[in-house]
Structure 1
């Protein structure tokens, strides 16, 4: 597949600093060429990894960043399930990103209204794009092959009109969420998966090397005009037979 790189690190310890360098280097490029850097974040273990590594970057300047969320749970921000809440406490409160540059949901709304409201915020933030084009999306993958809140065999996999969709029957709790759809994910200039741990190995093999039957949601991420990166550790890569790149600490993408 053109434009896909699969990069394997010994452990997540070596992966983390390389991810931080990817973010900051793409930020610098975007600010220099377009005046701002647009970043889409996912939750899970990515929160603590990003916070640790970005806060270790000397002179980190986030004043021209605009941050959105690939998906979000419709819960109050002080709920431990809130991705925004976790990033707020671990990262946003410690960097110089403007509050109005963080595109957060309105959790007081019903799930459908919440998705419409968030869609409106994205459109306002990307007034020149029919579909928002993020400079970098950081994605995760569940052991079932889902990404964002796009789950296997769910009707939202075929959504082509909405840029943000509600989901009220998530197979993974909490059930009510809003999620970017594939048109937005695949419009990104760069989509980067971060996948670590041996529990991901079986599904990662099927996502990257193919499977019988419908592809997993994570396998449907193919940026139309952008890059696709997979940053994984050796335990997650254990079942792969394909050719991959292997990098250690201090590497740069």
Structure 2
């Protein structure tokens, strides 16, 4: 389900947002906007749907931290697939952790990649992009999960506002029984699936269990307004 843009930014004052760049791509419109200054808050909107901004980032960091904590401590240099790049908090968090091995990031929007490489979001992700462990995969996450040969120790997925609030209808397939089965196949035995959501979803927890995942749980983080952000966690049985 695609929803209209909702202005939930907790920072940036009452000044109207400034459009930094607007692009049309194969998946529709993507916009980078700036609010306020000192510091400015940047936000990404896709097809009129608010995705994320740089105001906080705690839950995006939790996405990576929770996945790593759920892995066996003895597992050497675990690999992680982050989807997508967003404003870069999850990637920056992963690169700041020396325990991670390969860090692959799937992002389908060339505009988002450019905003990180040469645009204002490089302030968040610049060091992480320069890390030799980091690889950017310019492709669609759903397609990658279904067709890739690679397997990872952790999948950290944040391409929608949650399994019940997708940016495009095509993303629904990621949370379907077939999509969750594909996610399971992309994981090593004992690997962790972590899915960010703007709200808890009991039906998604049940879908994870029905897809054969173990250790299903939800971690919450309080936000300035509304229900908590959450990270849904599940483990592929060893």
When normalised by structure 1's length, the TM-score is: 0.34
* Higher fraction of helix: 1
> RCO (CA 8 Å, sep 6+): is it higher in 1 or 2?
1
More strand by share: 2
